[in-house]
Amino acid sequence: MTAYRLLFDHLLTRTDPERAHHAGFGAIRAAGPVLARLPRHGTPVEAMGLTFPNVLGMAAGFDKNAVGIDGLAALGFGHVEIGTVTGEGQPGNPKPRLFRLPEDRAVINRMGFNNDGAEVVADRLAARGRRGTEQGGPVLGVNIGKTKVVPEDDAPAVLADYEKSARLLAPHADYLVVNVSSPNTPGLRNLQAVERLQPLLEHVRRTADAVTSARVPLLVKIAPDLSDDDVVAVADMAGAIGLDGIIATNTTISREGLRTDVATVEEIGAGGLSGAPLTERALDVLTLLRKQVGPDLTLVSVGGITTVDDARARLDAGATLLQGYTAFIYEGPLWPTRILRGVRTP
């Protein structure tokens, strides 16, 4: 057991999860300039016309407001996906809204897309400037979602909301992600139905093309709770409209198979579950997607990747890139390096 695991299990689990996140992220940002001098690990990956420094990225949700991109890169992440950013800034759901399940190496969150909004984040990215991988920066993904107050059943309003985010943020992104799969914004997952999703993605595509001189790759992030038939439908739609990739998967609303006491889980209540319990379903969705889309479409696998064996299994199943979040919380700052060294060494 690592020193971090001992610290986490015996001390950090006693602190409020959201407060601990902010403190830990602050430390990462502060240490970024020192960490940036350390050697990098991993082999470059070519995908979507981009060169990723390595296969592993930080998933959306950790850096919602683009405040610590370079600190995360210094820890070894080859790409960082910020957000989810919404058209309008919003505080998210009431606290407490982030809960650890240490027995399951999992987290339940109902953050509710708390973020500063597209205008503020765009200004922050403009001030940071473009820092390509040749300058030691990561590939930058920008994940956009629906503002909570925008009615899900008002199609023009939904399109306008995503359009605002895409218009402001696409010029700063190496790739853009449409998030329709968080369980914490009412009605959002209804947008995963292909008849709703396709016009949304096509609209975001047109918007991004209108504000950028070079084409910005566009991906969609889907939930693990989709049926297999719906996963296939999304895969087929991706091919039909020329989508650049699919990120699979987001958090789950399922609570099946948890070791944590049932009463504790019920007391926590609603929210998306992430971490080790997603391992099997995320791998199944990835396998199904790769079979359906063929060898060329970029597939980013996320959800339940904790060990080197988990990472290798995703790559063997056809993942182009990997992302993590919850395992980073439980395993600590050396986790990216361990994964990258492990997948490089047979």
Establish whether 175 is an annotated binding residue: no
Establish whether 62 is an annotated binding residue: yes
Contact call for residues 326 and 59 (beta carbons, < 8 A)? no
Question: Residue holding tokens 């470059």?
Answer: 44
Establish whether 129 is an annotated binding residue: no
Q: Which amino acid is at 74?
A: A
Distance CA 55, CA 38 (A): 18
Token output for 85: 């950013």
Residues contacting 162, CB < 8 A, separation 6+: 87, 144, 146, 178, 200, 203, 204, 207
Q: Is 182 in the active site?
A: yes
Contact call for residues 339 and 311 (beta carbons, < 8 A)? yes
Contact call for residues 260 and 103 (beta carbons, < 8 A)? yes
Establish whether 275 is an annotated binding residue: yes
Establish whether 179 is an annotated binding residue: yes
Establish whether 143 is an annotated binding residue: yes
Distance CA 100, CA 198 (A): 35
Establish whether 207 is an annotated binding residue: no
Establish whether 109 is an annotated binding residue: yes
From the CB of residue 95, how many other CB atoms can be counted at a distance below 10 Å? 13
Token output for 230: 């719906």
Token output for 47: 């995908």
Establish whether 264 is an annotated binding residue: no
Query: Phi and psi (nearest 5°) for 70?
Result: -75, -30
Establish whether 95 is an annotated binding residue: no
Establish whether 184 is an annotated binding residue: yes
Length reported for the chain = 346
Closest listed residue to residue 249, CA positions, set 196, 191, 322: 322
Establish whether 146 is an annotated binding residue: no
Establish whether 61 is an annotated binding residue: yes
Identified catalytic residue from 165, 182, 274, 301: 182
Distance CA 198, CA 26 (A): 38
Establish whether 249 is an annotated binding residue: yes
Establish whether 64 is an annotated binding residue: yes
Residue set of the binding site for substrate: 64, 109-113, 179, 184, 250-251
Residue set of the binding site: 60-64, 84, 109-113, 143, 179, 184, 221, 249-251, 275, 304, 325-326
Residue set of the binding site for FMN: 60-64, 84, 143, 179, 221, 249, 275, 304, 325-326
Q: Just list the catalytic residues.
A: 182
